[in-house]
Chain A
Amino acid sequence: MDLCFLNINITSYVADPLSHEFMRKALLMSSLVAAVCGFLSSYLTLKGWALMGDAVSHSVMPGVVVAYALGLPFSLGAFIFGVGSVALIGFVKQKSRVKEDTVIGLVFTGFFALGIVLVSKIKSNIDLHSILFGSPLGISLSDVKQTVFISLLVVILLSVFRKDLILYCFDPRHAKTVGINVLFLHYLLLTCLSLAAVVGLQSVGIVLVVAMLITPGATAYLLTDKFDNMTIISVISAIISSVFGIYLSFWFDLETGGSIVLVQTFMFLFAFLFAPRYGIFKLKKFFSKY
């Protein structure tokens, strides 16, 4: 009797949210965004671009605001400011004696502050809260179109140049030696990073988008020694986190972006503790004893 009650309850827990149009859309779009960010994150974690990801994702803020104000696609503004911030970081680093991590921190907080000031000054219907913390439950139709377009673009670019990008992350000197255009690959990865940051911020917001770009890759890195598997695990863990995070936020009335990232963090923690080869408890050894 009790069991039967529980059974009905669980089904309704899973199915009820799906009866809402906004929930279906949020689940679909967030899964797409998570898949794209997860795909990219295996490159970023191996390249060691976590801090760069943080910088770019914060720096796109003024671009998003200006684009909204001018009625342009927000991805265009974000892209210009994302790549611009990296160019500026490179320039300041080269022309001054300040260390690189200081320059990165300095440039992206500057851009971020500019974005916040612009939001308060430009009278428009931009909701600061939804940019900072994401609003997967309130994605508009035009946003959906842009997100799908950008996601496809990033996936196609990463797939076509997949082997070159792996080589670029692994051994750029060899790439250069055999006549591969390393500078192009550098900016290609940077472009994908900016674009992924733009779609990711709708889901979890600017503040947390870097987690979408590094955590799935880091989790997958602990679980495999093959790049292909790493990408697959990364994408799957990102999608699961997104879906589960949205459900959690629905059930317990939590901030959606925060709960998505928190699920990702728990997945990393689980891999960190129990990964067969690289976890601290090394489950494989544990099992092989018995």
Chain B
Amino acid sequence: MDKHNYKSYRIEAENICVDYHGKVALYDANLRLKAGQICGLVGMNGAGKTTFFNALTGFVNISKGKIRINGESLRIAQKYQAIAYVPQSEGIDSQFPVSVWDVVMMGRYGSMNILRSPRESDIQAVKDAIDRVDLMELSSTPIGNLSGGQRKRTFLARAIAQRASILLLDEPFAGVDIRTEKLISELFIQFKNEGKTILLSTHDMIHVREFCDLVLLINKTVVAYGETSEVFTPENITSTFGGMSPDVLLGPES
């Protein structure tokens, strides 16, 4: 029974804490997400959004708590490439001499042999992924020559090629063109129908209302978590952003 319960959650983070050299970045954070759910991660700069992602990808070690991915440990989840991470634009060196194809192929590395020589299936997966983000004609272009939106789509394609069941997206809508924004929102709907679980951080409150079934408000720890319609209230947002008026954050329409 307990086992079955575990299985039904894609992400299960229980009371996790992360500290960097004695400074607490995140404490007692909880999150449970099922297949097909899209959750928005909202908080100020420095509130621990990237730290949360880092903990879920295993890039930093948690000092307390427990993370289960599909009911398994993080190490096993990494082996199955269960989690894909789409970095925010500032998180990568855009002048690195690799092409769109190279980057998307990196999504397949986890399941390749030690020399990372692509099989027919890997090549097909990369082709399909590049096609889904509509970058086929740019596939041999160095990423340094792409626009911000095209680069964002490249990393999305990498996540698609990886065939992960969980997608973590750090600021997916920051600095992208309208065409990319539309394409990403269409992809989100497709991912949801495919049963993928999505956790995305964003500064844009409108996007949260538009896409997210659930919202997780954090400020070093969880301020509020639940259905967007219930939790995404001006009061909760105010306390997440340290007493700032939600009018400033949401604009006059709310």
Question: A residues touching B (Cβ–Cβ < 8 Å)?
Answer: 46, 94, 160, 163-164, 166-167, 169-180, 221, 224-227, 229-230
Residues on the A chain within 8 Å of B84, using CB: 177
Residues on the A chain within 8 Å of B102, using CB: 227
Q: 1/0 per position for B101-131, CB-CB distance to A under 8 A?
A: 0100011011000111000000000000000
Residues on the B chain within 8 Å of A173, using CB: 54, 57, 59, 85, 87, 91
Residues on the A chain within 8 Å of B99, using CB: 225-226
B92 touches A170 (CB 8 A): yes
A166 touches B98 (CB 8 A): yes
Whether A160 contacts B115 in the complex (CB less than 8 A), given A171-B106, A230-B97, comes out as: yes
In order of increasing CB-CB distance, the 6 nearest A-B pairs are A178-B110, A179-B78, A225-B142, A163-B116, A177-B57, A227-B97
Residues on the A chain within 8 Å of B106, using CB: 167, 170-171, 174
Q: Smallest Cβ distance from A61 to chain B, in angstroms?
A: 31
A-B contacts counted at CB < 8 A amount to: 75
From B58, B87, B110, contact of A171 by CB (8 A): B87
| Least CB separation from B140: chain A residue | A226
Q: A164-B116, A179-B79, A225-B145 are in contact. List 7 more A-B contacts (CB 8 A).
A: A163-B109, A166-B98, A176-B57, A176-B59, A177-B85, A180-B110, A227-B102
Enumerate 30 A-B pairs (CB-CB under 8 Å) in ascending A order: A46-B93, A46-B97, A163-B115, A163-B116, A164-B109, A164-B116, A167-B109, A169-B96, A170-B96, A171-B92, A172-B59, A173-B57, A173-B87, A174-B87, A174-B106, A175-B109, A176-B59, A176-B78, A177-B57, A177-B78, A177-B85, A178-B109, A179-B78, A179-B79, A179-B110, A225-B99, A225-B142, A225-B145, A226-B97, A227-B98
A221 touches B97 (CB 8 A): yes
| Least CB separation from A170: chain B residue | B96
On chain B, the number of residues with a Cβ less than 8 Å from chain A's Cβ atoms is 33
Residues on the A chain within 8 Å of B107, using CB: 178
- The interface residues of chain A, by DSSP majority, are classed as helix
Whether A46 contacts B109 in the complex (CB less than 8 A), given A163-B115, A176-B59, A225-B142, comes out as: no
Residues on the B chain within 8 Å of A230, using CB: 97
Q: Does B219 contact A (CB under 8 A)?
A: no
Q: Does B49 contact A (CB under 8 A)?
A: no
Residues on the A chain within 8 Å of B109, using CB: 163-164, 167, 175, 178, 180
Q: Does B81 contact A (CB under 8 A)?
A: yes
B97 touches A177 (CB 8 A): no
Residues on the A chain within 8 Å of B81, using CB: 177-179
Q: Does B23 contact A (CB under 8 A)?
A: no
From A167, A179, A225, contact of B97 by CB (8 A): A225
Residues on the B chain within 8 Å of A169, using CB: 96
How far apart sit A129 and B11, CA to CA, in the bound complex (Å)? Answer: 61
A174 touches B85 (CB 8 A): yes
Q: Smallest Cβ distance from A46 to chain B, in angstroms?
A: 6
| Least CB separation from A169: chain B residue | B96
Residues on the B chain within 8 Å of A226, using CB: 97, 99, 142
A94 touches B142 (CB 8 A): no
Q: Does B144 contact A (CB under 8 A)?
A: yes
Q: Does B158 contact A (CB under 8 A)?
A: yes
Residues on the A chain within 8 Å of B156, using CB: none
